[in-house]
Amino acid sequence: MFKTYLRLLGFARPIEKYAIPYFFYSLFYAVFNSLTFVLIVPIMNTMFDPEYTFERVTELPPFELKADYLTSFFNYIYSLMYTEYDRQRVLIMLALFTITISLLSNFFRYMGAWTVESMRARTLQRMRDEMFSRVMDMNVGYFSDQQKGDIISRITADVNVVQFCITNTLLVAFREPFLIIGYVAMMIMLSWELSIFSVLFLPLVALLIGSIVKRLRHPARTNQKRLGEMVSTLDESLAGVKVIKSYNATEYVKKNFFGINADVARLTLSMARRQQLASPMSEFLGITAVGVVLVFGGILVGNGSLDPGSFIAFVAIFSQITRPVRHFVDQFANINQGIAAGERIFQLVDSRPAIMDRADAKKFEGLKEKIEFRNVHFSYDGQREVIDGVSFEVKRGQTVALVGPSGGGKSTLSELIPRFYDPASGEICIDGVSLTDYTQESLRAHMSIVAQETVLFNDSIEGNLRMGKPDATREEIVRAAQIANAEEFINQLPEGYETNIGDRGGKLSGGQRQRLSIARAVLKNPEILILDEATSALDTESEKLVQEALNNLLKGRTSVIIAHRLSTIQGADKIIVVSEGKIAEQGTHEELLEKNGIYAHLIEMQSFA
């Protein structure tokens, strides 16, 4: 737990940038705030004590932790300014003193709060940057094992909890302790007898509230987990709303969401009940103590051990001291919740991509001869092998098609080339050099993937295309759109290339989205192109336009095509039939037809479809 807390503080680096100024702001705030209440003494004496007489003080009195010191200091200031005593003049000076001290107290309080907010904002920014960066660095397989909503919850909700844990450290370390020390010092100055009771009482308040705080950690952790599940359910429901409605599954989805939401509400109320109990408990104990102080203090006033002004000032201070005590304990509750959230965050931060570049990995400069699969084996999480001893090659400039039954391993083979995954055994080489000898970034810089599921973003058309080449000129973007047969429909849109296409490109048809995906690949101008069933989900008219665009894109490139519709790959230089993770057949279209094997059977089936 303490180790997690120290790691969380690392997000506030350099913490001294905030801690040092906050230390002084809190110190001055505590001093001036305490003095505000002590000024009650001379005001009360001046206004209501009939036996009060002014005594001139010509030398600065030495500091003493006594109530008389403040009166002597005030008389010294008054004696420097005036030679004769005037009650009205004294009250005006006391009022000015009070206003000035209050102004200074609140100024330093504001500066301290601003420092905390600055620390909070920068800490939040750093945490989210680091977590998002970590998520984006993960390999593709990581996201197959994680709920997207849980990841979102950690980057949003958990980070918000943690940032208060970090910033509350300053409050716990400086502001509240300084206030408590300042109030206690002023109370001792006014009456050491009453102060003894107070000092014994305050730890009792802290212990009672602390027992509540200890019970917060478990429900906090569970609540954060369920909140992640709720976000995940919400995301999946919004993404699949058409499917949900087509199956009349609205009530089923609602029931699932309502159940999770009810759990979140229950856990939130459980935490709130414990948290909110701390405040009324401390207030009740504080009022109870004030009642005892009134009785005990009244006795001291009656026997002359304490003057009425000091007694009223003491009660005023004592009624305030439970506030910083309560806040001090509340901050510990927030820190406790923050540590629970921090543990979830560090589960993500400490996750390491399964595929990492070696320190000596070099930059890939481009394909010169061929891509080779050498006895490649692969499985997901050590389960059944998806790829079992596959070997083949793709020469520079060739188009190689992977075909075969669904689930045979075609897409997995294509995902090994850009190193979304690494083989369990065997290797994939480019020009005789293993892919693992190259950095992932340099490999992918020479590749583009056009998949069946087109991934577009809630941005303009131009913004989506620029992902392929951020520094592209408008002329290059237009040319890419022309090659992809996309320019015509783009020009028909209200704002042309500046048109926002909506969430996941929802404002466009499937064929339009696919042509934008191809235009993005064209703009990148990759050496190696991977097409994963890029036309299988399209209607006949859209398929014709997209296929023309693909033919334009394939010219002069080394390509690996995964095809469902075999009519689109008959001109490939090599066709490889993949079945149950193995290569069943390979050759040209004509050669495979002559073998009258799996490929010929697939062609026959599609001809009757």
Name 190's Cβ contacts closer than 8 Å, sequence gap at least 6.
38, 41, 67, 306, 310, 311, 313, 314, 317
**2-349: CATH topology:** ABC transporter transmembrane region fold (1.20.1560)
What does the DSSP 8-state code read for residue 171?
A: I
pLDDT at residue 145 in the model: 66
Model-level pTM? 0.65
Name 193's Cβ contacts closer than 8 Å, sequence gap at least 6.
296, 300, 305, 306
Give the ranges where 303-400 is alpha helix by DSSP (H): 308-349
pLDDT at residue 411 in the model: 87
Residue 366: φ, ψ to 5° = 135, 155
What does the DSSP 8-state code read for residue 379?
A: E
Tokens of 601: 């059977």
∠ CA 208-214-217, nearest 5°, is 150
Helix (H) or strand (E) holding 100: helix 87-137
Query: What type of residue is 387?
Result: I
Average pLDDT for runs of 10 along the chain of length 609: 72 81 90 79 66 71 70 76 76 82 90 87 82 78 69 76 75 80 82 76 64 57 72 74 68 83 82 68 70 79 78 78 70 69 73 77 90 90 81 92 87 89 90 91 87 80 85 88 85 88 80 85 86 69 72 81 81 90 90 88 73
Give CA–CA dist 225/230, Å, rounded.
9
Give CA–CA dist 536/532, Å, rounded.
9
Name 18's Cβ contacts closer than 8 Å, sequence gap at least 6.
12, 115, 116, 118, 119, 170
Give CA–CA dist 406/403, Å, rounded.
9
pLDDT at residue 103 in the model: 92
Query: What type of residue is 85?
Result: Y
DSSP secondary structure string for all residues of 393-457:
EEETT-EEEEE-STTSSHHHHHHHTTTSS--SEEEEEETTEEGGGB-HHHHHTTEEEEESS----
Domain ranges across the chain: 2-349
Euclidean distance between the first and the last CA atom of the chain, given in angstroms as a whole number? 63
Residue 400: φ, ψ to 5° = -115, 130
Which of helix, strand or coil describes residue 156? helix
Edge-to-edge strand list for the sheet holding 399-403: 447-451, 528-532, 558-562, 399-403, 574-579, 582-587
Helix (H) or strand (E) holding 489: helix 487-492
Which of helix, strand or coil describes residue 465? helix
pLDDT at residue 217 in the model: 52
Name 587's Cβ contacts closer than 8 Å, sequence gap at least 6.
574, 575, 595
Work out the number of other CB atoms within 10 angstroms of the CB of residue 167.
25
Place of tokens 């589960």: 347
Q: Which residues pair with 579 in a beta bridge?
A: 582
Nearest to 10 by CA among 203, 173, 201, 166: 166
Q: Which residues pair with 450 in a beta bridge?
A: 531
Give CA–CA dist 163/585, Å, rounded.
58
Residue 144: φ, ψ to 5° = -75, -25
Place of tokens 């910033």: 167
Place of tokens 């503080």: 9
